[in-house]
Structure 1
Amino acid sequence: MLLRIHHAAIICADYERSRRFYTEVLGLRVLAEHYREPRQSWKLDLALADGSQIELFSFPNPPPRPSFPEAQGLRHLAFEVDDVAQCKQGLEAMGVAVEPVRVDEYTGRRFVFFSDPDGLPLELYEAAQGEEVAGGSEMG
């Protein structure tokens, strides 16, 4: 039986740029960081408040995403937040371009899209009222 998502793995084009984005802009906590010499690759384990993780990898000359936004594979990675508008303002204050806030026609919850430094589509999705996100985020 599947319990929850443990991690999402992301390959970036510029490791230092992406490391700064995920730690300083999104406020994720570093669990471990290793340079894997045989692969000429960095692996950075980042923690979210609920215990799930993002693994950030660098590889020499990774191929670009073939098309956007409807390429086969991961469409986007969504993070749940307490207040979409507040997090949107925090991202914009740090120079991140964020799309206008939308409302999910089925749940009534607010959400917004933005991209990481490599153009990976990311989403902020608002928690249902009364469901605060444990640990919060440094974005707001």
Structure 2
Amino acid sequence: MHITGLHHVAIIASDYARSRDFYCRVLNLEVIAENWREERQSWKLDLAPCGLRHLALACGDAAAMRAHLRGLGVETEALRVDEYTGARFFFCADPDGLPIEFYQPA
């Protein structure tokens, strides 16, 4: 299984409007998508990578990558489907607990 690249970086913001302004106006990052998630009562704002909440690596086959990692003894979360893009993804953690997402673009 091969990593095909860095897909995205996610952050948690204490003040959404202030953070959105900073990343868009100050850093001039382009908004890829912006969605309100009712079940979480939070915004999901996709921008060009900046900041770090978790590392997301693009892969060609998320299910195969998950099976490969599990075969190496790595605990993983269940395979999921992104409700906005249809992409398949799952998470595991690095040795320090940093979430790592493996993302198969749709």
TM-score bracket, normalised by the shorter chain, equals 0.5 to 0.7
> Is residue 78 of structure 1 aligned with residue 44 of structure 2?
no
Structure 2 counterpart of 1:120, from 81, 98, 103: 98
Structure 1 counterpart of 2:68, from 72, 90, 115: 90
TM-score by length of 2: 0.53
* Contact kept in structure 1, 2:4 and 2:57, CA below 8 Å: no
SS in 1 for 2:83: coil
SS in 2 for 1:113: strand
> What percent identity do the matched residue pairs reach?
49
How far apart, CA to CA, are the structure 2 residues paired with 1:126 and 1:79?
9
User: Whose strand fraction is larger, Structure 1's or Structure 2's?
Assistant: 2
Shift of 1:127: 2.5
Deviations 1:63-84 (A, max 9, x none): xxxxxxx697621100000000
> Where do 5+ consecutive residues of structure 1 fail to align?
1-25, 28-47, 53-69, 129-140
SS in 2 for 1:97: coil
Aligned residue pairs, count: 65
Deviations 1:63-118 (A, max 9, x none): xxxxxxx6976211000000000000000000000000111000001110000111
Q: Rg bigger for which structure?
A: 1
How far apart, CA to CA, are the structure 1 residues paired with 2:75 and 2:96?
13
Cα RMSD between the aligned structures?
Answer: 2.6
How far apart, CA to CA, are the structure 1 residues paired with 2:81 and 2:67?
17
Query: Per the alignment, do residues 49 and 101 of structure 1 end up closer, same or farther by CA in structure 2, a change over 3 Å counting?
Result: closer
